[in-house]
């Protein structure tokens, strides 16, 4: 009988515990009291922000927890087709305006708040007979013998104990201390990439306005380096509510007072979100949240230790505006399940590689968007990539093929390579040529 300790009881930790519970007794160690967790708890400070389950993430969660979407819908969460258009579906607004219409026959977006989603998942996972929770405890160290993890040291106040384990999983989030713990055990260092785009958000919950919902379910206004540092999103939530996030890049932080919050929305380069706010009824105070850094930890490059891997934000912490975190966690859990069912000789090493493979695509997209805001010196390759992404967003306002490729990446049904398809490259080049030569755009057809 194997024993596993999962440090962290948020989405990544719960889903990892679920899949590892197929073959192990699992103890989840969490500082918060999960049994009596309120809607918003200290371990998830961003829970007031707008959250969404992207298409691939929604499908992954349904695969892990069959019937979850029906449970969320019964709790009032809207489930919408993942279509996109200038005045319909999920309205994406780039620097040159709303993207062209893209339809979706099968993919969906689940509009559940973070507390509702986490509460529903937690209830299902903690009912598993092989999963136990130790609340009020946090991971404080790793026991290592001959390059193999043999246990986890956990602390409750001034008391520390060691939990023997064949496997320890770090799901403690973006502030993970496991690199330092591994270094203290003579393992590492853990290679990492870090950017400091200095992102700040303010969020507020509203009763959903009636007139925008007749045309679109949600909207996202993107920033543009050198022109517009402001970001705005309106995403659906349960029981006819919505959550509005206003954000800024490069240290441009939105205010948290009512008038300032509205002014920030008014000064977005697209009026749609502000118009919705004028018709919406506030249901909460304005909550602020800042993420000065985004980070990718390369645990898969470690040759040791056996018996340890990390998952979720402990591996890749994203800019929250892209809505990737929960979906990536679900996909990583599926990847770990696939590894477990292959029964490799070294489960931990295989799991580290599988998690890294899942995180690579979303991280690449997020890092490409964030890099220009850091003030760091950029390579020629970075500048070429940034220029091409800007051209994609411009072309997507008129070309449904380009907009569709961007939507696939956003919904995580395709990786960043979708933007390098010959049809997309050709249409972006044509669009850019016409703009440069100041000629009327040619009509784009499918």
> What does pLDDT average to in each consecutive run of 10 residues of the chain (446 residues)?
91 96 95 72 67 86 96 94 87 92 85 90 94 94 92 94 96 94 90 90 89 76 87 92 92 93 94 90 92 89 92 89 85 97 93 96 82 82 86 94 91 88 94 75 45
Q: What is the DSSP string of 322-368?
A: G--HHHHHHHHHHHHHHHHHH--SSHHHHHHHHHHHHHHHHHHHHHH
The reported pLDDT for the residue numbered 331 is 95
Query: Bridge-partner residues for 247, per DSSP?
Result: 201, 231
Contact call for residues 232 and 218 (beta carbons, < 8 A): no
The reported pLDDT for the residue numbered 89 is 87
Measured between alpha carbons, how far is 104 from 81 in angstroms, rounded to an integer? 6
Q: Tell me: cis bond preceding 322? Omega within 30 of 0 counts.
A: no
Measured between alpha carbons, how far is 149 from 127 in angstroms, rounded to an integer? 28
The reported pLDDT for the residue numbered 441 is 47
Domain ranges, ordered by start, for the chain: 3-45+115-194+293-366, 64-111+197-291, 380-436
Tokens at 349, concatenated? 């090493």
Contact call for residues 2 and 23 (beta carbons, < 8 A): yes
Phi (first) and psi of residue 343, to 5 degrees? 55, 60
Length of the chain: 446
- Annotation: CATH topology of 64-111+197-291: D-Amino Acid Oxidase; Chain A, domain 2 (3.30.9)
The reported pLDDT for the residue numbered 146 is 87
Measured between alpha carbons, how far is 76 from 62 in angstroms, rounded to an integer? 17
Measured between alpha carbons, how far is 421 from 391 in angstroms, rounded to an integer? 15
Helix or strand holding residue 288 (H, E): strand 287-291
The reported pLDDT for the residue numbered 52 is 78
The reported pLDDT for the residue numbered 446 is 43
The helix/strand/coil state of 388 is helix
Tokens at 309, concatenated? 């891997």
Measured between alpha carbons, how far is 433 from 427 in angstroms, rounded to an integer? 10
Tokens at 329, concatenated? 């966690």
Sign (positive or negative) of CA dihedral 139, 141, 145, 146: positive
Is it true that domain 3-45+115-194+293-366 has CATH number 3.50.50.60? Answer: yes
Measured between alpha carbons, how far is 121 from 15 in angstroms, rounded to an integer? 8
The reported pLDDT for the residue numbered 432 is 87
The helix/strand/coil state of 410 is helix
Measured between alpha carbons, how far is 180 from 171 in angstroms, rounded to an integer? 15
Phi (first) and psi of residue 235, to 5 degrees? -125, 145
Distance of CA 53 to the CA centre of its chain: 9
Measured between alpha carbons, how far is 295 from 278 in angstroms, rounded to an integer? 37
- Residue 437 contacts by C-beta under 8 Å, 6 or more apart in sequence? none
């Amino acid at each position: 009988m194997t024993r596993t300790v999962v440090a962290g009881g948020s989405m990544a930790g719960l889903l990892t515990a679920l899949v590892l519970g197929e073959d192990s007794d699992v103890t989840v160690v969490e500082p918060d009291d999960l049994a009596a967790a309120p809607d918003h708890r200290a371990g998830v400070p961003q829970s007031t922000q707008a959250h969404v389950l992207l298409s691939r993430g929604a499908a992954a969660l349904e695969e892990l927890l069959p019937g979850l979407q029906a449970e969320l819908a019964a709790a009032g969460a809207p489930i919408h087709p993942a279509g996109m258009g200038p005045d319909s579906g999920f309205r994406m607004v780039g620097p040159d305006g709303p993207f062209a219409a893209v339809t979706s026959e099968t993919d969906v977006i689940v509009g559940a708040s973070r507390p509702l989603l986490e509460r529903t998942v937690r209830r299902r996972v903690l009912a598993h007979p092989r999963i136990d929770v130790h609340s009020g405890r946090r991971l404080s160290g790793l026991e290592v013998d001959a390059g193999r993890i043999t246990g986890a040291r956990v602390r409750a106040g001034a008391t520390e104990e060691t939990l023997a384990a064949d496997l320890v999983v770090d799901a403690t989030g973006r502030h993970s201390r496991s690199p330092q713990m591994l270094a203290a055990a003579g393992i590492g260092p853990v290679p990492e990439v870090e950017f400091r785009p200095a992102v700040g958000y303010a969020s507020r919950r509203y009763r959903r306005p009636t007139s925008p919902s007749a045309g679109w379910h949600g909207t996202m206004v993107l920033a543009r380096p050198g022109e517009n540092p402001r970001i705005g999103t309106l995403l659906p939530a349960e029981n006819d509510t919505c959550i509005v996030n206003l954000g800024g890049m490069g240290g441009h932080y939105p205010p948290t007072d009512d008038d300032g919050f509205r002014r920030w929305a008014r000064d977005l380069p697209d009026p749609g979100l502000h118009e919705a706010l004028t018709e919406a009824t506030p249901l909460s105070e304005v909550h602020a949240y800042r993420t000065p850094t985004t980070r990718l930890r390369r645990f898969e490059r470690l040759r040791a230790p056996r018996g340890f891997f990390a998952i979720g934000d402990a591996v890749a912490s994203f800019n929250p505006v892209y809505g990737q975190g929960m979906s990536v966690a679900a996909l990583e859990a599926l990847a770990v399940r696939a590894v477990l069912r292959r029964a490799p000789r070294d489960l931990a090493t295989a799991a580290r590689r599988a998690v890294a493979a899942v995180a690579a695509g979303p991280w690449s997209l997020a890092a490409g968007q964030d890099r220009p805001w850091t003030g760091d010196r950029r390579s020629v390759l970075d500048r070429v990539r940034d220029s091409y992404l800007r051209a994609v967003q411009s072309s997507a306002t008129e070309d449904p093929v380009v907009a569709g490729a961007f939507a696939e990446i956003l919904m995580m049904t395709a990786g960043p390579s979708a933007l390098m398809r010959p049809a997309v490259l050709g249409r972006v080049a044509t669009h850019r040529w016409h703009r440069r030569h100041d000629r009327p755009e040619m009509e784009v057809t499918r």
